[in-house]
Amino acid sequence: MNIVEVRHISKTFEQGDIAVQALKDVSLCIEKGGFAALAGPSGSGKTTLLNIIGGLDTPDAGSIVMDGNAFADMSRTHLADLRLHRVGFVFQAYNLIPVLSALENVEYVMLLQGVPEKERHDRARRILDDVGLENRYHRRPHELSGGQQQRVAVARAIVSGPSIVLADEPTANLDSETGKGLLEIMQEMNRQKNVTFVFSTHDRMVMDYARRLIRIRDGQVDDDVTKNG
């Protein structure tokens, strides 16, 4: 069963007087429960594709369908609601709110969703325990290491039970050992809770962990391989 269908997507950006085509007629499907990586060098179009899948950017041509919902048929409010309830984001720069604790950062999406206070607290604590931050509930981002901040970001992305988590270069600012630990946490979430993950990356380690490797080159799908096992 496909959770996302990308159909003939193209996207061009204007850089001064120059038009740069970031994506050229890209089509692919992401299966529910997948653990996939969009891999390619900087400028290949992988982050643009990830942002379009998440509804953060709009294609010039083509269509996106998520959980049976065609983005083109949705109002801006409906699309924002779908992002809030169906999509978890993990950004390269963490994007944590500096004045909030780890617990409050994880609770924030649920607050926007209108989840009752006690349930927010309980779910946020459980997910922080799951990512190994049971003793860091009340630390603010500046009191956490880069790896701990990224774990908070992962916890925030998955705590509300989204259909899919989109992670943009999640290991880029981490040392290899911390990155490995984070990938193992996400892999376990994928296996135990069937959370769908899609990464954009040029990190070989992320590619090795992914069960499906989609190589993007010059705005097009260059290779798409699902690994055995």
Instruction: Give per-residue pLDDT as tens, 198-214.
Output: 999 988 999 999 999 99
d(CA 67, CA 197): 15
pLDDT at residue 180, as a whole number: 87
* Residues pairing with 5 in the sheet: 29, 65
Residue 228 has pLDDT above 70, yes or no: yes
More confident residue, 31 or 173: 31
- CATH 3.30.365.10: does it fit domain 32-58+74-226? no
Domain boundaries, the chain: 32-58+74-226
pLDDT of res. 141 = 93
Q: At residue 122, what is the residue type?
A: D
Higher pLDDT, 7 or 161: 7
- Look over the chain and give the mean of its residue pLDDT values, rounded to a whole number: 90
Amino acid at 144: L
Q: What is the pLDDT of residue 176?
A: 85
Rounded distance, CA 229 to CA 188, Å? 15
pLDDT in tens, 81-105: 988 888 998 887 778 999 999 999 9
> 30-53: per-residue pLDDT in tens?
999 999 999 988 888 899 999 999
- Whether 174 shows a pLDDT value over 80: the answer reads no
pTM above 0.75, yes or no: yes
CB 97 within 8 A of CB 105: yes
